[in-house]
Structure 1
Amino acid sequence: MNTPAAIEAFLEMMSAERGASQNTLDAYRRDLEDGHRSMHGKSGLAAATSADIAWLMDRIAAEGFAASTQARKLSALRQFFRFLYAEGLRADDPTGTTVSPKKPRTLPGVLSEAETGRLLDRALDEARSPPQGIEREAAVRLHALVEVLYATGLRVSELVGLPLAVALRDERFFVVRGKGNKERMVPLSGKARAAMTAWLSVRATDPAAAESPFLFPARSDTGFLPRQVFARDLKALAVRAGLPSSAVSPHVVRHAFASHLLQNGADLRAVQLLLGHSDISTTQIYTHVLEERLMKLVNDHHPLAD
C-alpha cells in the first residue's frame, strides 16, 4: 500500500468532510509522516501491524516525548487507520489494542483577575500613548486583540481570523465559526467593542487594509495577522505590565476568561458553549474552580462552619 498516497487521501477527507483547519491538517501530516519515516525498513505505515504500532509508540516514548504528545500522535494514527478501514483499504485497525499514554488533565496557568486587569490596563495605556519603539497602529491593534480575547474566550486562530463585519455591527453578541466548522455565539463586552472601534479608526488610515475582509489584516499567506505574531506581542506586553512572559499567552488568557466566569457564578455548561468545546469532559478541567467556589459557599453560609 502506498503510504504517502494514503496520507493525502486521509487529509483530503479530514478537510472536506470534517472541516479540519489548516493547523490541524499540518499537525496530522507531521505526525503521520514522522511515523512513516520511523518505520523505514519495515512494511511502511499504511501496512503496519499491531506489533509495528506498539514498536512505534515505544520508540516515541523512548525519545522523551511528553505523554500529551504521545497521546496526540496515537490519536492521529488511530484516525488514519480508521479511515483506511472505512474505505476498505485495510481489513483491520492495528491501533485497536494500543493503550493510550496517561496524561494528566491539568489546568493551564491562569491569570488572576488582578493580573488580567493589569494586562488590559497596560494595553489601554499604550493604545492611548504608545511607548517609544512601538507604533501607534500596533499598540491600538494589540489593545483590541487583548480586550476581545478576554471578553470572548476565543481560540487564538479564531481571534486573529475574525471578519471585519464583527466590528462593523454594534451588537453584544456575534457568531464565530470554530473547530469542525461549527458556529457558536459569543459575547462582546462594551470595552471590547470600544477597543475595536478605536482599532477601526486606525485601520482605516492604512490603504493596504481597505480591501481586506479581515478585522486584523496582514501581509501574510492567510491575509490576517499570524497567531505567532500576536503571541509574541502579548508576551512583550506582559513584561511591560510587570508579569512574567512565561505566564502569559493567548491560551492562558482564554483560560482566564473561563476560570473567572466560573469563579463569579457561571454554569459549567454555559462555559462549555462559550469555549466551543464539543464535549463537556474537555471543560471539566475547571472542576476544581467549582469545588473552590462551593467550599467558599459552605464556609461562608453554613451555620456550623467555623
Structure 2
Amino acid sequence: MTSDISDQADPQGAGTTSDISTPVDGRAAGGARRRPGAAATAVPAAFAETFDGYVAAKTRPGEPLDGDTVRAYCSRVRQFLAWLDGADVDGNPLVDAHARDGAVRDYRAYLLTVAKRKLSTVNAHLTAVDDLLRHVGVGPAAAKRQEVPKSAPRALNDRNRTRWLRAAQRADARGKALAYTEYYGGLRGGEVVALDVGDVRISARKGVLIVRYGKGGKYREVPLHPQLRAALEEWIAERATWPGAVETPALFLNRRGGRLSTRGAYDQLKAIAADANLEFGRDGDLTPHSLRHTTGTNLVRDGVDLGLVAELLGHSVETARHYSLPSEEDKQRAIERLAVDE
C-alpha cells in the first residue's frame, strides 16, 4: 500500500475503455509534468484490456485500498504500460516471471535516469507496478527499492499555516468545513468525502467524527476541535437548503445534490489555497495530505504521545513516528547556524 499522497487531475487517457480518473500523478509518460488540461498518458491498445481489468478489480466494493490510493496506482500503472509498449524487453513481463524482473528493473532505471523522478516517487511507482503484477498472476518483481533519506512528511510552516487558516475562514460554509475537516480532523481526502451526516456527532460542548472505513478498512473516532465543530454546525445548517439534502446521506454535497467527489473537494481546497496565495499541488506549497501532515507534525512537536497521534490519524505508530523527523526547513536552519568567519 502506498504512503499517503495528494491528488491531482489525470483525466482518462485514450486507448482504454476505463472511466476512472487518476488525480494523482499529473505527468506524461516521458516524465515531464503535464500542462494543466493536457491529456493523460494513453494506455496502449495492446494493454487496454489488462488495464481495464485492473481498474475493475481495484474499484470493486470492499477493495481495501482507499480511493486516493486506487487513483494513484492506476495513474502509475498507466505510465508503466505506456513505457512497456515501447521498451526493448525480453519476453512478456505480464506473463513470464523472468521477463517481469528484468522489465521492472529497466523501468526503475528509466524512472531514475530518464524521467529523473525522486527516489520516493520511483518506489511508489514500483509498488503500483507490483500491484498490477499480482493482479495478472505473476507476482511482484524482484527489484530493490531505492534507499530514501528519512525526513518528516511535508507540512505547512507556521506562516503558511496561518495564511491557510485565514483563507479557510473567508471561504463559504462548505469550503470552510472541508478545509477544517482536513486540518483539524486530520482526515484523508477520501475519508472526508465518504462522511455521512450521521457520522458527525455533536453535543453541547463536544463532538466526534466517525471514520467508518479508513485506510486499510480501519474504523476510528476523531474528537472535534472547537473550530471544526463550529464550522460543521454552520455547514450542516446551510446544507439543509441544498438540493439532495434529504435524499443524499453525504455530509458534503455537490451543487446537483449528490455526494461531493474527491475531485470536487480538491478544487474547493485549491480555491482556498489560491486565496491564501499558496500554490496547491504536488510541487506547490501544500497538498490535501500536507494539511493532514501539518496536523500530525504539530501534535508530535507539541509533545502528544505517538500512540495517540497514530490513533487520531489512522496510522500505525511507526508511520506516526515520521512526524518527529526533521523537515528540510529544519535541516536548512541547522546548517545556517554554523559559525562563519567574515
Q: Give the structure-1-normalised TM-score.
A: 0.73
Alignment match, 1:228? 266
Deviates more, 1:38-47 or 1:262-271: 38-47
Q: Provide closer, same or farther for how the CA distance between residues 63 and 167 of structure 1 changes in structure 2, counting only shifts above 3 A.
A: same
Instruction: Please report how far the alpha carbon of residue 5 of structure 1 lies from its aligned counterpart in structure 2 after TM superposition.
Output: 5.3
5 Å-filtered alignment, 1:1-306, equals 11=55, 13-14=57-58, 15=60, 18-40=63-85, 42=89, 43-48=91-96, 49=99, 50-61=101-112, 62-84=114-136, 89-90=137-138, 93=139, 95-96=141-142, 98-112=143-157, 115-124=160-169, 126=170, 139-167=172-200, 169-170=202-203, 172-176=207-211, 177-219=213-255, 223-225=259-261, 226-239=264-277, 246-277=284-315, 279-288=316-325
Unaligned runs of 5+ in 2: 1-45, 327-342
Q: Provide closer, same or farther for how the CA distance between residues 38 and 218 of structure 1 changes in structure 2, counting only shifts above 3 A.
A: same
The 1-side partners of 2:117 and 2:313 are apart by 28
> Kindly, what percent of the aligned residue pairs are identical?
26
The 2-side partners of 1:37 and 1:180 are apart by 29
Q: Provide closer, same or farther for how the CA distance between residues 145 and 29 of structure 1 changes in structure 2, counting only shifts above 3 A.
A: closer
- Computed over aligned residues only, the root mean square deviation of the Cα atoms, in angstroms, reads 3.2
Q: Provide closer, same or farther for how the CA distance between residues 269 and 27 of structure 1 changes in structure 2, counting only shifts above 3 A.
A: same
Q: Provide closer, same or farther for how the CA distance between residues 3 and 45 of structure 1 changes in structure 2, counting only shifts above 3 A.
A: farther
Q: Provide closer, same or farther for how the CA distance between residues 274 and 234 of structure 1 changes in structure 2, counting only shifts above 3 A.
A: same
**Contact 2:243–2:255, Cα closer than 8 Å, also in 1:** no
Deviates more, 1:39-48 or 1:230-239: 39-48
Matched positions, count: 266
Letter of the aligned partner of 2:118 in structure 1? A
The 1-side partners of 2:172 and 2:193 are apart by 15
Letter of the aligned partner of 1:216 in structure 2? F
Q: Provide closer, same or farther for how the CA distance between residues 25 and 250 of structure 1 changes in structure 2, counting only shifts above 3 A.
A: closer
Instruction: Please report how far the alpha carbon of residue 221 of structure 1 lies from its aligned counterpart in structure 2 after TM superposition.
Output: 11
Deviates more, 1:226-235 or 1:245-254: 245-254
- Kindly name which structure, 1 or 2, has the bigger radius of gyration based on alpha carbons: 1
**Contact 2:119–2:146, Cα closer than 8 Å, also in 1:** yes
Q: Give the structure-2-normalised TM-score.
A: 0.66
Letter of the aligned partner of 1:270 in structure 2? L
The 2-side partners of 1:249 and 1:33 are apart by 22
Letter of the aligned partner of 1:186 in structure 2? V
Q: Secondary structure at the match of 1:44?
A: coil
Q: Secondary structure at the match of 1:186?
A: strand
Instruction: Please report how far the alpha carbon of residue 115 of structure 1 lies from its aligned counterpart in structure 2 after TM superposition.
Output: 5.0
Deviates more, 1:58-67 or 1:37-46: 37-46
Q: Provide closer, same or farther for how the CA distance between residues 110 and 34 of structure 1 changes in structure 2, counting only shifts above 3 A.
A: closer
The 2-side partners of 1:159 and 1:256 are apart by 16
Q: Provide closer, same or farther for how the CA distance between residues 106 and 24 of structure 1 changes in structure 2, counting only shifts above 3 A.
A: same
**Contact 1:156–1:250, Cα closer than 8 Å, also in 2:** yes
Unaligned runs of 5+ in 1: 127-137, 290-306
Alignment match, 2:30? none
